[in-house]
Structure 1
Amino acid sequence: MAREKLSAVHVRQSPAGKYGDGGGLWLLKSGKDTGSWMLRVAVHGRLRHMGLGSIADVSLAEARVSAAKWRAVARDGRDPVQERERQRRDAARNLHLLEDVARDAFEARKAGLRGDGKAGRWYGPLENHVLPKLGKTPVADIDQILIRDTLRPIWKAKASTAEKAIQRLAIVMKHAAALGYAVDLQACAKAQALLGAQGHEVQNIPSLPWAEVPAFYASLNDGSATHLAIRFLILTGLRSAPVRLARLDHIEGDVLTVPADLMKGQKGKASDFRVPLSAETLEVIEEAKRQSRNGLLFASPRGLALSDMTLSRLMQRREMEARPHGFRSSLRVFLAEKGCPRDIGEMILAHSVMGKVEASYMRSDLLDIRRGWMDRWARFVTTGKDDAQADVPTTGQLIQMQAGAR
């Protein structure tokens, strides 16, 4: 190695320029008080230039030690630049960064999420509001202060999103603990205490009063896939996804069978959800079949499923506050006011009202009972009049039918 030429005084006082210390170590001064270290080595006949840090952070002695280390790597035939990057990656893996643990936690849970979590609703709050700030932080270093500072900007402005983000983060921390990492399982709860009350009220999705539904239904008369899909949504009481993704092979006679993975909260459960189809609903289906594509009952001009926004925009363009999902509320209030038993009303909307033990004995989905109420709803929606003598069961008949189902 060439004789060392620099001294600590030279490093401090030399003006801007390039100064060699021997053995490929160079001092690059950009000004009297600023500069950096650079190592030049040959690897398999190819020159490589490697930064060793600023003179403000790395002394001459430290630079010489570092240069000697990386020259030894080059003598072994390895590229010191690539080797340093590999070591950095290994070190990051050993730190168990939050972004890596979060991804692993999501992979462990996604089989239980609708559509395997591809829509991003579970991972989205983390990806958008937590990981950009804390993703590169080791999980062992995550505390309530970091969480508080990360979520404070949205804690009240986007209360619902912030609440989901901190709930998902708590799940990730539990996952890290299960992996054997040293984490504070109370960090999220402590952060919530520091953030305080959100001061928001849950906002229900706007809906039309049930008495106004017939007039709106009648206005959906252009025969387009969008109009027909909203009609179908109103008549069946389904959420948007089962309607937009309904397929021709989901329909058999006067029954629609919705696969469990299209039903909110049904992923991984044993049974699909059967929907009785009224005469009006069957007419909507027949009209939709004439323009169905790729097996989809309601398809866009490109043959794809309609988007959720497509349905919402129709109501927005009409300057309505109500949204498609709100028709489930319209139907539920109608059923309640017309005397539909609570359990049947909830079953029509695919809400779970039974505990595990009760559900194990209730082995019927009461399709025929639900059909009577859905027929009554369809007659009201299409005529604006309610047939009070509709063939729907009384509470006594309901009890008898439930007993027979056990």
Structure 2
Amino acid sequence: MSMVHMRARNRLSATFVKTAPVGKHCDGAGLWLVKREDGGAQWVLRTTVHGRRREMGLGGYPDVSLAHAREAGDRWRAVAKSGRDPVKEREKEAKAARREDISLSVITQDAFEARMAELKGDGKAGRWMSPLENHVLPKLGKVPVTDLDQRDIRDTLAPLWHTKAETARKALNRLSIVLRHAAALGLDVDLQATEKAKALLGKSRHVAKHIPAMPWQDVPDFYASLSEQTPSHLALRLLILTGARSAPLRTLHLDQIDGDVWTIPGEAMKGRKGATEDFRVPLSSEALHVIDAARPFARNGFLFANSRKGVISDMTLSQLMKRRELQARPHGFRTSLRTWLAEATDAPHEVAEAMLAHLTDSNVVRAYRRTDYLDQRRELAERWANHVSGSCK
């Protein structure tokens, strides 16, 4: 029985192959020798993948001997048996082999170029690449991606892990994307390497540095000093009055204002994890006065347009404070407002947090609550504006 079975697989002999007549000769298990009229001969393997017939050439005879053709046949049959297409698998291998260089730096550049279209401004500024260029590629750039493991990554990022946590986190994230890109190219990489490295690095001891904030008692003097009718002075005034983040404020569009409410679109609400809903900001009479003063500068509906095109930059507002030799920065006014709310008012915690668009509850609790405390916030916004502008009521 076993001899019959063997013959069903290895029907041809080396002697027969040498003098085989023109035609197709079956060695068994899908391996064929195809002898041509011109005397040449070719090995062909027939397999079935997901019910579809596949044929692949295994090379010519005598360059590929009967023994080598059988070895190759065994290998590609196993691939087909596992449900993968042997022809495509071989193409992937050839593509990987054609890359003289499969170093991390080459594959990183390849991954970056493949993602450029999705990166918007990040691509142009090179910010996507900088965590890798500055901290990973100098040490690991020459390592073939197929050799990269969690210990390499751990050793490279360990110096940053407790000091520059955000940079290290970004580097790990980018590295994971590069490894997935390498896998898509058919390279045999460890897709779990970054997760394993994270486990080896442990919990970060990094303490976030807070943006310097101006004490709320000093805000009125600074506010009074913003006396010029310029987009930057008026934008900083409105930033202080509303407690908004810089990006939604700088890109404020007149369509977003309805009466005394400014509605920030959900997609502009950075920092509101898991939230996509719009956020309503009550505008005090002082804030409405600032908006009216800025209207003559509006262009294409944007209230704080810059002198060229687009809107004023974050840097413009920061530089204004830097030039005055202040430690505080624009984002810090959110802290000034939050501290004032805690120390100078009896606003409930959830209302005070809502003033800064901070989420205090789970999605479920918020869904049931169905309120953004607009009326309470309107009253507090008016009181903050009175404090800031020196008005008393």
Fold shared by both chains (TM-score > 0.5): yes
What TM-score range do you get, normalising by the shorter chain?
A: 0.5 to 0.7
Superposition TM-score, scaled by structure 2 size: 0.63
Tell whether the 8 Å contact from 1:244 to 1:307 is kept in structure 2 after alignment. yes
Q: 2:383 aligns with which of 357, 364, 376?
A: 376
1:224 aligned partner: 230
Q: Whole-Å Cα distance in 2 between the matches of residues 105 and 130 of structure 1?
A: 20
CA distance in 2, matches of 1:169, 1:242: 31
Q: Is the CA contact 1:147–1:188 (under 8 Å) kept in the aligned structure 2?
A: no
Q: Is the 8 A contact 1:260 1:272 kept in 2?
A: yes
Is residue 2:291 matched to residue 1:285?
yes
Contact 2:154–2:200 under 8 Å retained in 1 = no
In 2, the alpha carbon distance for the partners of 1:233 and 1:343 equals 21
Does 294-303 or 308-317 show the bigger shift? 294-303
Determine helix, strand or coil for the equivalent of 1:256.
strand
Count of matched residue positions in the alignment of Structure 1 and Structure 2? 296
For 2:277 and 2:196, the matched residues in 1 are separated by 36
Q: Secondary structure at the match of 2:297?
A: coil
Q: What's the secondary structure of 1:246's corresponding residue?
A: coil
- 1:99 is the counterpart of 2:108: yes
Distance 1:307 1:115 in 2: 14
Unpaired stretches in structure 1, ≥5 consecutive residues:
1-86, 388-406
Structure 2 gap ranges (5+): 1-93
The CA distance in 1 between the partners of 2:290 and 2:138, in whole Å, is: 46
Whichever residue aligns with residue 344 of structure 1, its letter is V
Query: Against the structure 1 CA distance between its residues 191 and 229, is the aligned structure 2 distance closer, same or farther, given a 3 Å change threshold?
Result: same
**2: CA distance between counterparts of 1:261 and 1:157?**
31
Change beyond 3 A, Cα 1:377–1:236: same
Q: Is the 8 A contact 1:231 1:284 kept in 2?
A: yes
Give the whole-Å Cα distance in 1 for the aligned partners of 2:185 and 2:370: 40
Matched, 1:202 2:208: yes
Question: What code does the residue aligned with 1:210 have?
Answer: W
CA positional deviation for 1:92: 3.5
Identity of aligned residues (%): 52
After superposition, where does 1:62-211 map in structure 2 within 5 Å? 91-92=98-99, 98-99=107-108, 103=112, 124-126=130-132, 128-130=134-136, 134=140, 139-151=145-157, 154=160, 158-170=164-176, 182-183=189-190, 185-187=192-194, 189-190=196-197, 193=200, 200-211=206-217
**Other-structure match for 2:250:** 244
Residue matched to 2:54:
none
Determine which of 289, 301, 306 is the counterpart of 2:312: 306
Residue in 2 that maps onto 1:263: 269
In structure 2, what is the Cα distance between the partners aligned to 1:319 and 1:189? 45
Q: Say whether residues 1:362 and 2:375 are aligned partners.
A: no
After superposition, what is the alpha-carbon deviation per residue over 1:42-94, rounded to whole angstroms, capped at 9, x for unaligned? xxxxxxxxxxxxxxxxxxxxxxxxxxxxxxxxxxxxxxxxxxxxx77773399
Change (3 A) 1:343 1:198: closer
Deviation digits for residues 262-313 of structure 1 (CA, Å, limit 9, x no counterpart): 2113588442111111100000000000111222111111132111111001
**What is the CA–CA distance in structure 2 between the aligned matches of 1:310 and 1:152, rounded to whole Å?**
36
Q: 1:230-271: CA deviations, max 9, x gaps?
A: 001000101110111111111111111112222113588442
What SS does the aligned partner of 1:147 have?
Answer: helix
Q: 1:206 to 1:223 in 2, by over 3 A?
A: same
Give secondary structure in 2 for the equivalent of 1:374.
Answer: helix
Q: Quick one: distance in 2 between partners of 1:361 and 1:117?
A: 41
Tell me, in whole angstroms, the C-alpha distance in 2 between the residues paired with 1:298 and 1:104: 34
Supply the AA of the counterpart residue of 1:99.
T
